[in-house]
Amino acid sequence: MVEVLAERGATDVALLDMRGLTIIADYFVVCTAGSTVQMRAIRDALDREPVPPSASHPKFEGEVTDGWLLADFGGVVVHVFAPDARAYYRLDELWSDAPVVARLQ
């Protein structure tokens, strides 16, 4: 997931290990997209990405025009934010107890 986001130009990509903190998912991936066009490209790439046998085809919430998009792969949930939405929701701070597995600026 992190590679797919990086290939589409997402910035400030953080992979958080959520195990032991929530039953929602094992991992959160949080990133920023600079425009609705970029967010749409990320959504399309996530939709086409082959999923491992233990994952499911993503279920999407939100719209690219909302400034926030969620892709739920089962054990991994990807949050794609516009810059202002990421600053508003501050998921990195909300889940600051989660170990950071990887971070790409």
Confidence at residue 53, expressed as pLDDT on a 0 to 100 scale: 61
pLDDT bracket for residue 1 (50, 70, 90): confident
Confidence at residue 88, expressed as pLDDT on a 0 to 100 scale: 96
From the CB of residue 23, how many other CB atoms can be counted at a distance below 10 Å?
8
pLDDT bracket for residue 100 (50, 70, 90): very high
Distant-in-sequence, close-in-space partners of 37: CB < 8 Å, separation ≥ 6: none
Distant-in-sequence, close-in-space partners of 52: CB < 8 Å, separation ≥ 6: none
* pTM attached to this predicted model: 0.92
All structural domains of the chain, each given as residue ranges with its CATH number in brackets, are 2-96 (3.30.460.10)
* Helical segments of the chain, H only: 2-7, 36-48, 83-89, 91-94
